[in-house]
Every structure is written in structure tokens, then in C-alpha cells.
Amino acid sequence: MLKIRDLKVTFNKNTVDEKIALNHINLILKEGDFVTIIGNNGAGKSTLLNSIFGLVETDKGKIILDNKNITTLSSHKRAKEIGMVFQNPSYGTAPHMTIGENLALATMSDKQGNPFSKCMTKSNIAQFKELLKSLGLGLENRINANVGLLSGGQRQALSLLMATVSNPKLLLLDEHTAALDPKTATKILAITQDIITRKHLTTIMITHNIDNAIKYGNKLILMQNGNIIKIYENEEKHKLSISDVMKLYANTITDEMILK
């Protein structure tokens, strides 16, 4: 489904600030895999997702989605098959447009012509309301409200809906609950799980919350210094405790100190 082969990314090449952000990453995901990624700041988590989505230029390696090499495609072209939700609730939506117009944009932006003239029909608006109703936030009653008036949690829920409305081949979630309060984050994660399960979406989710990394998905990846340190799968993953993961963090750091 998704194959990443020998992916390398370097920031600030040929300068004193040169840094290897991704160090020859190899990863294979099957259709329907839900992967959580954890790691310290600078581990390469967001760089990995941004590379897959086409927001970061890679030095070498290949990114293959459904047997199609997308390594050199623009992010605009990748967006037709990959949905992405960012940490900042302000990203991923157009604040001066209505909720309905944002959904129209998400469903029609990859087709020719004005998306609103083709999509803002009574029939489609009714469908949008049903989609919004599934969020359980009452947004179906505010379909003509500007997105800029929504709370962070409401906007993030809408971003998630927009990223998945066209059933992408891959969903990328870059700490999409990090900017929310704990209660709202829990609600958004529940919505996330529901959408992923109903649509059987292949998903990669970055989180700093180790408990959530263990709870959600069937695979857990630990990254550090641009490397994949460990991959836990299925039962091995679900048997993990927070202390198990913290011990792995500690052992990895110790090994690095010894190498230095």
C-alpha cells in the first residue's frame, strides 16, 4: 500500500547547520494499517509526514503509494490521494468561507470548474449536513457559518472531515490534537477513530501522548534522530505499557551517549 525506501532528508545542506532529518528510512504499510509515531522533538516525525505529502524535498529514496511512485509529484497532486490534518487548527480550512463551502472545496477541488457552482446544490448540502452530523458537534446546524467563527476543536473536526471526505488512500495526522485542551482532544480522537474504522483508512498519526500511541492503531513506531528505532505491531503493541516505552527511550539515549 505504502512503501518508503531508503528515504533521506537533509536540512541546511553544506552549511554549519546541516542536519540529517531522515536517515535512510524504510517502511512498509499495508492497506488499513493505523500507525502511531512517537519520538522526541527533532526525531523526524513531522519531516516524515511532510515528505510523504510532498511538503519537504527529499535527497534520495522513493515513496510508493499503491504501486505508484509519487516521490517527485507536487503536494497538490498528492493531495488527490492523501489527506493530511496539521497540528494547528487554522490549517486545512479556509476561515473566510462557510462550513459548506469548505466541504465543497474538499470534494470538488480536484475537478475542473468552479467547485461551488457544481457542489452547492440542495442535494449536496443535505449530504454535507449528514456528514457534519456524524461528528456529533452540532455543525450541521451551522453549515452557513464562517469557519473562522468555530472553536479550535470544531475547526479540527472539520479539517478531519475534509481530509477524509473523498476517501483518500492515505491519511496523515501530524499531532492533530496537540493544540487542543484534553477534553476536546479526547473528543477529536474518538471522531478520528470512528472515521478511520468506518472508511478503513490507512493512517499515520504522530502524537506526543504515549498512552494514545499505545491505545490507537495496530502499529507503533518510535523515532529518534531521523531513524526508526523500533516498530511494535498488533499484540506486542497492545501489551505495551507507558513504562515499557519510557525504558526504550532511556536505553536509546544511553546507547547514543556510549557511541559518542
Rounded CA separation 254/260 (Å) = 10
Q: Which domains does the chain have, with CATH numbers?
A: 2-95+152-259 (3.40.50.300), 97-145 (no CATH)
Please tell me the total number of residues recorded for the chain in this structure: 260
Q: What is the mean pLDDT of residues 96-118?
A: 73
Over 90: is that where the pLDDT of 7 sits?
Answer: yes
pLDDT digit string (tens) for 214-235? 999 999 999 999 999 999 998 8
What is the reported pLDDT for 91?
87
Strand partners, 39: 223
Over 90: is that where the pLDDT of 146 sits?
Answer: yes
Q: Which of 184, 183, 192 is nearest to 215 (CA)?
A: 192
Over 50: is that where the pLDDT of 257 sits?
Answer: no
In the chain, what percentage of residues exceed pLDDT 90?
Answer: 73
Mean pLDDT score across all residues of the chain: 89
pTM of the model: 0.91
What is the reported pLDDT for 245?
84
Rounded CA separation 244/119 (Å) = 50
Q: Give the DSSP H/E element, type plus range, for residue 11.
A: strand 2-11
What is the reported pLDDT for 188?
94
pLDDT digit string (tens) for 9-64? 999 988 999 999 999 999 999 999 999 999 988 899 999 999 999 999 999 999 99
Q: What is the mean pLDDT of residues 237-245?
A: 87
CB atoms within 10 A of CB 6: 12
Over 50: is that where the pLDDT of 260 sits?
Answer: no
